[in-house]
Amino acid sequence: VCIHRVRSCSGIHFIKSKYVCVFDKSALKFSHQQRLFRTSAVSCGQIVQFKLSDIGEGITEVTVKEWYIKEGDSVSQFDSICEVQSDKASVTITSRYDGIIRKLHYNLDEIAYVGKPLVDIEIDASKGVSPEEDVVETPPMSHEEHTHQEIKGHKTLATPAVRRLAMENNIKLSEVVGTGKDNRILKEDILNYLAKQTGAILPPSPKAEIIPPLPKSETVPAAPKDRAHKIPVPVSRPIVFSGKDKTEPITGFQKAMVKTMSAALKIPHFGYCDEIDLTQLVQLREELKPLAQIRGVKLSFMPFFIKAASLGLLQYPILNASLDESCQNVTYKASHNIGVAMDTEQGLIVPNVKNVQVSSVFEIASELNRLQSLGSAGQLGTNDLSGGTFTLSNIGTIGGTYAKPVILPPEVAIGALGKIQVLPRFNGKGEVFKAQIMNVSWSADHRIIDGATMARFSNLWKSYLENPASMLLDLK
């Protein structure tokens, strides 16, 4: 893209700014800028029509496909303005000026013409880009090097990032002493200037990315050395932080969670916690893991927890029930569809293993593998995600010991499993031994479940896991 130095006003067409200031004596302060304005009008900013430049290959028209900015946004030189398309080529149009977008000449999908105005930009008066002098861009090769900016007739060298830092802090580059090569203004110079002004040490503005060290030929010692020798004087430091709060609407998946959890809130929860000695189970699993591997299944602890829960539910079916909305009827569910909470990119999903009451530990493990791989691929179906009657959440894989899980309606109970820790415990002989301890936290619906029932269920579940051989007696 060639930038033309505008000798006369033919290239740029001026429109009277909407924001016309009253010309009074106070304007004399800016008298040195008078020569930059046309005599007929004084405006706070000049509106420049930025035309669509040549695309190449003789193309005269393009379609506007996306706007990156809207009217009222401020832009810096080289910021992307829009994306246009012509005959399989997608072109990013970038701004030639710093300023505020005042008008977009095209809507999306409209045809834009090369050489015709694309947007109107109001250029900041204090920056004083004169009508006679265009912003001079050095030939494209130096877009990674420093660009020149003509301000009030004399060149001020600074990279666009440094100029943006200056603009954000309302600093006139002409007032900053450049310590770089050719009196180039560096980021340190801006920061020093600011520090002198406010007596503060400002953190870099969050918008400016970390600027890598300049190539060796350009480096200059940072802050002036003599500062290091001064005794620091405590000065009240105005903290400058330009981060902004970000508000966005809750949509889709999160909305559904809000609904579910609000419904869960209506359930009076009570909690019951305990600790389980998994030493024997750990050993058993070690023995069974390779066997499962041969059959192509990864065996974790969950299948055991799930099966043990199902055995417990056979004795305490109220925990596998559902209370209707009016709290008039309890439905005892025949199937044990045990849900397993899964953490995915979108958030919490709870697929369930169907009919655990008639499944072997191996079958449960296999089904879990299937659900886990579908879950991580984001391909779980509605069938896998609905129909659950009881839930286990293995939060311990992430961390934690005790938890306070929230019941997922229409269920009436849920268990959260903490991480397995190696802890010292006393055995029957009073000796200390190494035990694999896991904590479980149950929550249940106190409208139909009482503490005693929950405690007995938990004890039964615990006994199956602490002594896995006892599961054999009751396996169906």
Residues of this chain that bind another protein (CB under 8 A): 1, 55-57, 65-66, 78, 83, 85-92, 94, 108-109, 139-141, 143-145, 159-161, 208-212, 214-216, 249, 251-253, 255-257, 259-260, 263, 322, 324-325, 331, 346, 349, 377-383, 385-386, 408-410
- Number of C-beta neighbours around residue 464 at 10 A: 25
Nearest distance in Å: CB 461, another protein: 24
CB of 124 to another protein, least distance (A): 20
Residue found under tokens 């405006």: 43
The answer to whether residues 16 and 122 touch, using CB atoms and an 8 Å cutoff, is no
Closest separation in Å from C-beta 67 to another protein: 12
| Rounded distance between C-alpha atoms, residue 167 and residue 149, angstroms | 13
Measured from the CB atom, the residue of 43 and 77 that comes closer to another protein is 77
* 269 part of the active site: no
Angle between helices 361-377 and 302-315 (to 10 degrees): 120
**In whole angstroms, what is the distance from residue 202 CA to residue 193 CA?**
11
- Rounded to a whole number of angstroms, the minimum distance from the CB of residue 251 to another protein is 3
Please list, in sequence order, all residues whose beta carbon lies within 8 angstroms of the beta carbon of residue 39, skipping any fewer than 6 positions away: none
Q: Which is nearer to another protein, 183 or 329 (CB)?
A: 329
We find the least distance from the C-beta atom of residue 343 to another protein, in angstroms, to be 13
C-alpha span between 12 and 50 (Å, rounded): 8
Give 112's strand partners: 62
**Closer residue to another protein, CB minimum distance, 354 or 462:** 354
Bridge-based pairing of strands 14-15 and 147-151 is: unpaired
Nearer to another protein, 161 or 358 (CB): 161
The C-alpha atoms of residue 353 and residue 339 are separated, in whole angstroms, by: 6
Q: What is the DSSP letter of 73?
A: -
**Residue type at position 369:** N
DSSP type of residue 114: T
CB atoms closer than 10 angstroms to residue 206: 10
Quote the least distance from Cβ 230 to another protein, whole Å.
31
Q: In the complex, what is the shortest distance from the CB of residue 129 to another protein, in angstroms, rounded to a whole number?
A: 19
105, 148, 269, 446: the catalytic one is: 446
Query: Catalytic pick from 109, 182, 450, 474?
Result: 450
Structure tokens at 70: 């809207």
Question: Which CB atom, from 31 or from 217, has the smaller least distance to another protein?
Answer: 217
* Closer Cβ to another protein, 377 or 398, answer by number: 377
What is d(CA 301, CA 282) in angstroms, rounded to the nearest whole number? 8
Give bridge partners of residue 103 from the DSSP assignment.
120
Euclidean distance between CA atoms 133 and 117, whole angstroms: 19
Of 150 and 218, the one with the shorter C-beta distance to another protein is 218
DSSP 8-state class, residue 75 = E
- Could you confirm whether 450 is annotated as catalytic? yes
For residue 163, the one-letter residue type is: R
- CB count within 10 Å of CB 212 equals 6
Active site members? 446, 450
